Amino acid sequence: MIELSNLILLLVVLINFYTLGTSRLVACIRAVAIQGGLLALLPLVAHGLSLHTLILAFWALLIKAILIPTLLTRTIREVRIHREIEPLVGFVPTLALGALVTSGAFIFANYLPLIAEHRGSLFIPTALATFFSGFLLLMTRRKAITQVVGYLILENGIFIFGILLSEAMPLMVEAGVLLDMLVGIFVMGIVINQISREFSTMNTGRLSALKE
Amino acid sequence: MNLLLAAIALLMSGALMSLIAGRRQNLAYTFALTAISGAAFLIAGAVMPLLLHPQTLIASHNWLVPGGTFALSVDPLAAFFLLPIAILPPLAAIYAGAYLKDDGKSRNLAPHWALYALLMASLIMVVMAANVLLFIAAWEIMTISSFFLVSYDHQHSEVREAAWLYLLVAHFGLLLITAFFLLAGSHCGSLNFVDFAPLTQAGPTLTAILFLLALGGFGIKAGLFPFFVWLPAAHPVAPSHVSALMSGLVVNAGLYGVLRAMLLLPPLSALWGAIILTLGLLGALYGIAMAMLQKDVKRCLAYSTVENIGIIFMGIGLGVLATAQQLPVVAALAFAGALLHIWNHTLFKGLLFLGAGTLLHATGTRNLDQMGGLLKRMPQAGLLIIGGSVALAALPPLNGFASEWLIYLGLLHAGVAMSGVSALGISMVLVLFGIVGTLAVVTFTRLIGIALLGEARSPAAAKAHDATPAMLWPMRLLLLGCLLIGLLPQLTLHLLTPVLNQMTPTAVPELNATFAQSGQIGLWGMILCAALIIVALLLTALQRRRPTTPATTWGCGFPRPTARMAYTAESYSGIAHHHLLPQALQPKLSTKRPRSLFPATVQFFQHSQEALLQRCYQPLFSALAERCVRLRWLQQGKQHLYLLYIFICCAGLMLWNILADKGL
């Protein structure tokens, strides 16, 4: 079982890199959907089959892998954006930063005061790496959609962390899934308000007009 | 315990149902009222046995919030604060139904009723909570629901500003409360009140820090002297029934916090007693002096709340002082007075805010100078307001007198028992307390005289109508409560015994003597009532025997008395404030005098300011704000940068945590 979960976790890390490096939004969203699907498997793999893990997996699959990616794809179609052009930090530097952050996460995880059974497992470093990659995406991209994707990845990082705790603190994990609903509402907000049909004004940079 | 939980559940479902009912006004109101009054009965049923046969109920349930347990505990102190929650909200809700009837035609009141029920539920929860997180959650729900209730008329900028001030100040208080609880929790290694026992062995420095935090944090809510600035801003702008609740119950929550902190901490030293006593006295003096100057009826009542809270803190301070100096008689009298005054304040301040609401409803203004002659037009409400004012001015035979009398007695005993400087200090306090009482009489004769007597000062006042029975009955019941406590204080004090036992265990043997003394007040009160009734009957009989014909008073020169001849609100209190108040508190005057020999237009405006807010807090905070402008470069308006800040902050915290663990 451990090999399987490690495989999933490695795939998750690879997907992080993919989203950091690609400029195509559709690919980005698909990658996140796959990542969500992989994560939905994790509770089953890590804790075995039980009602609680099944429910958790079901909701994660429904929300992370199906619902939100569908909404995002539809949004893209409606506002006709396909590429992230001129990110704040270029793709190659972001990738490099991502690699740095990921390796940092792996080193850092060794220093964490973990309980014995979590020591050496890939869960914690992957969670941290995913979390930081999401953050990186949020910080370096301009388009609202990419930011939503970044937020989703960040959320996935928290979810991986939460799986370790899902026995101890079920509420935290479920609240994490609920956070995804928040993203869903975010997306709906973009669709409904349609910040504009125009290409340029989907930039969140315009939000700086809100500064006093 | 289950009854109380059921009450909370009932209130929550009532709130939900009235929200669902939405625009169907009557249905929404019915749901809310049913829930509120049902909950009130449940609370009363749960609490009365606790006060009669003291015991502590404890319950603990699992709560899925990390670090929190759903721990509840109802000891006599909690029961003492729960009882007013069973009385005021249902009465104010009945009143509010009639009060807001006109508003209901043009706007959706369902959120208002839902928030009202929520506020009541959170008040219950605050008092019951025995876990830090639960307490803070309930406290925050209380603050936020009362914030929304205050900002009912949010289309006016005055209301919005007052509500924001309240929210700001309340959150500053929450900061201090959180600091208090976290410090206490980290000292004891648990967030449940049950495990706070090690706190009673805390050293003097820790005790001082903790008590200062608690006094500041809860004092802000309670309206303790330097922190009460939100009270005179928020009370006037809220709808009257909400003001009644804010002044009668939300403020009590602050008092509960202070008393609870006192129970959790080791016995306080005499110095702390003196500090609380001084703060209370300053609050009472400041509050009543400002109340005397206000043109706005509800602002006047809000300042009077500051005064009464000051009196309650005086009682608490004296009690702490006396307990520390082993004067059990004084401690018993002082604590009994303070606790009784808490109940009394809920009753008569509720009554008067509801009364001010009837005036506002009838005339459409809160300005005293535009009322006048209302006793003739609204005799029922007018009489009730007079009754409430008598209680609030602490005149016998009503309840305000009973509790203040106990504090006076305590001060007198303390003055006799102590020696040297402390005796001098106590007698100074006694004299100043006397001045507070006198000013209270001035304030409330002014309120009655200017609003209810004389001629109508505005067309609106001339067309005023009396309140409807739904508005009058709650007020009647509150006045009845005031009268009962005033006439039978010993019975009420009997209910307070378990609480007194908690606050000052050494004083218990002295309690019977205290009760006997208060019994005498009740007796004298009854004699006074009887005398008044006999005199009234005699006068009526005389009048019937020799009927009088009403005629104009001397036709010479004043055939028609007009409002311009009467004292205004400003002139009535003028004599008192010109001679008594220090320069800083004097109201701002702007006059236009005639310059030539011939008569000309004369103008005179008087505007009273909130000196503490304008002279202390606003300069302080604007200076702070100016300093902070230098940090403006941090605010770039770019979301990415903000995210970077968050990232750096989180990463820094994680690193620090790890390094701290390694002992670096």
Name the minimum distance, in Å, from the CA of B646 to any CA of chain A. 10
Between CA B28 and CA B103 the distance in angstroms is 14
Beta strands in B470-533 (DSSP E): none
Which residue of B633, B636, B640 is the best one to mutate when testing the A interface, meaning the one whose CB has the most A CBs within 10 A? B640
Burial of B367 (0-12, 13-18, 19+ CB in 10 A): middle
Q: How far is A10 from chain B (nearest CA, A)?
A: 23
Backbone angles phi, psi at B605, to 5 degrees: -120, 140
Q: How far apart are CA A109 and CA A121, in angstroms?
A: 10
Judging contacts by C-beta atoms under 8 Å, the chain B residues touching residue A84 are none
pLDDT at B560: 65
What tokens appear for B83 in the block? 């009882």
The residue written with tokens 């508190």 in the block is B585
Q: Which residues of A touch B662 (CB under 8 A)?
A: 111
**Cα–Cα nearest to A175, from A56, A90, A84, A61:** A56
Are B64 and A169 in contact (CB < 8 Å)? yes
Q: How far apart are CA B270 and CA B273, in angstroms?
A: 5
pLDDT value for A208:
58
Query: pLDDT: is A176 or A30 the higher one?
Result: A30
Positions of chain B with pLDDT under 50? none
d(CA A159, CA A176): 6
List chain B residues with CB under 8 Å of A147.
639
B643 with A211: Cβ contact below 8 A: no
Which of B286, B293, B326, B332 is closest to B309 using CA atoms?
B286
Longest Cα separation, chain B: 98
pLDDT of residue B117: 92
pLDDT in tens, A96-155: 989 998 998 888 887 777 776 777 778 888 988 998 898 888 888 877 778 788 888 888
**Interatomic CA distance for residues B394 and B392, integer angstroms:** 5
What is the separation of C-alpha B273 from the centre of its chain, rounded to a whole number of angstroms? 22
Predicted local distance difference test score (pLDDT) of residue A197: 46
A-chain residues near B633 (CB < 8 A):
none
Q: Coil, helix or strand for B333?
A: helix
Residue found under tokens 């991502």: A98
- Number of A/B CB contacts below 8 angstroms equals 38
Strand bridging mode B70-74 / B57-61:
antiparallel
Q: Tell me the HSE value of B30 on the side-chain side, using a 13 A CA sphere.
A: 6
Q: Is the pLDDT of residue A198 over 50?
A: no
Burial of B544 (C-beta count, 10 Å sphere; 0-12/13-18/19+):
exposed
Tell whether A22 is within 8 A of chain B (Cβ). no
CB B14 within 8 A of CB B36: yes
Q: Give the model's pLDDT for residue B468.
A: 86
Whether A156 contacts chain B with CB within 8 A? no
Report pLDDT for B564.
Answer: 73
Cis peptide before B66 (omega within 30 of 0): no
Q: Which residues of B touch A208 (CB under 8 A)?
A: 636-639
Q: Chain B within 8 Å of A210 (Cβ-Cβ)?
A: yes
Percentage of residues of chain A with pLDDT beyond 70: 75
A88 chain-B contacts, CB cut-off 8 A:
640
- Of B160, B124, B313, B344, nearest to B247 (Cα)? B344
Query: What CA–CA distance (Å, rounded) separates B354 from B298?
Result: 10
CA atoms of A16 and A105, how far apart (whole Å): 13
- For tokens 């106990």, name the residue: B406
> What is the C-alpha to C-alpha distance for residues B201 and B186, in angstroms, rounded to an integer?
14
Q: What integer pLDDT is reported at residue B554 of this predicted model? A: 60
Selected for mutation to probe chain A from B634, B639, B654 (highest A CB count within 10 Å) is B639
b/e map B320-357, b = 16+ CB within 10 Å: bbbbbbebbbbbbbbbbbbbbbbbbbbbbbbbbbbbbb
Question: What pLDDT, on a 0 to 100 scale, did the predictor assign at position B619?
Answer: 85
CB atoms near residue A99 (< 10 Å)? 13
- Cβ-defined contact of A113 to B637 (cutoff 8 Å): no
Phi, psi angle pair for B160, to nearest 5°: -60, -45
Is there a contact between B436 and B280 (Cβ–Cβ < 8 Å)? no
Question: Closest to A88 (Cβ–Cβ): which among B65, B640, B647?
Answer: B640
Q: Which residue has the higher pLDDT, A197 or B661?
A: B661
Whether A113 sits inside 8 A of B638 (CB atoms) is no
Residues of chain B in Cβ contact (below 8 Å) with chain A: 64-66, 635-640, 643-644, 647, 654, 658, 661-662
List, for residues B360-413, the tens digit of each pLDDT value.
888 888 888 888 888 888 888 899 999 999 998 888 888 888 888 889 988 998
The residue type found at B376 is: K
By C-alpha distance, the chain B residue nearest A101 is B651
pLDDT single digits (tens) B580-615: 777 777 777 777 777 777 777 777 777 777 777 778
Examine the pLDDT at A211 and tell me if it is beyond 60.
no
- Chain B closest-CA separation from residue A62 CA (Å): 24
**Residues whose CB is less than 8 angstroms from the CB of residue B188 and which lie 6 or more positions away in sequence, other chains included:** B195, B196, B197, B198, B199
Per-residue pLDDT at B215: 92
Q: Which residues of A touch B654 (CB under 8 A)?
A: 108
| Domain ranges across chain A | 2-210
Question: What is the least distance, in Å, from the CA of B136 to any CA of chain A?
Answer: 20
Say whether pLDDT at A52 is over 70: yes
Tokens representing B381?
């409400």
Instruction: Report the distance separating Cα B102 and Cα B16, nearest Å.
Output: 23
How far CA B526 is from CA of B465, B517, B520, B523, in Å, comes to 33, 15, 10, 5
Partner-chain residue, chosen from A111, A132, A208, that has the shortest CB–CB distance to B658 = A111
What amino acid occupies position B317?
Answer: G
By C-alpha distance, the chain A residue nearest B659 is A111
Residues B333/B413, Cβ–Cβ less than 8 Å: yes
Burial of A192 (0-12, 13-18, 19+ CB in 10 A): exposed
Among residues B127, B521, B516, B79, which one has the least CA distance to residue B332? B516
Alpha-carbon distance A27 to nearest alpha carbon in chain B (angstroms): 23
| CA-based nearest distance B68→chain A, Å | 12
Binary contact (B635, A211; C-beta < 8 A): yes
Neighbours of B256 (CB within 10 A): 22
A138 touches chain B (CB under 8 A): yes
Q: Are B65 and A171 inside 8 Å of each other by CB?
A: yes
Cα-only R_g, chain A: 17
**Residue B651 distance to chain A (closest CA, Å):** 10
Q: Which residue in A has a C-alpha nearest to residue B650's C-alpha?
A: A132
Which residues in A lie closer than 8 A to residue B649 (C-beta atoms)?
none
Question: DSSP labels for A1-22?
Answer: -HHHHHHHHHHHHHHHHHHHH-
Contact residues on chain B for A129, CB-CB shorter than 8 A? none
Is B65–A211 a contact, with Cβ atoms under 8 angstroms apart? Answer: no
Q: 3-state secondary structure string, B385-443?
A: HHHHHHHHCCCCCCHHHHHHHHHHHHHHHHHHHCCHHHHHHHHHHHHHHHHHHHHHHHH
pTM of the model as a whole: 0.81
Q: What is the pLDDT confidence band of residue A212, given thresholds at 50, 70 and 90?
A: low
* C-alpha–C-alpha distance, residues B452 and B572, integer Å: 14
- For position B125, what pLDDT does the model report? 92
Q: Is the dihedral of CA B273, B276, B281, B284 positive or negative?
A: negative
Q: Are B33 and B128 in contact (CB under 8 A)?
A: no
Whether B658 sits inside 8 A of A112 (CB atoms) is: yes
ipTM: 0.75
Closest partner residue to B66 (CB to CB) among A169, A208, A209 is A169
Give residues 82 to 121 of A whose Cβ lies within 8 Å of B: 88, 108, 111-113
Q: Do A208 and B64 touch (CB under 8 A)?
A: no
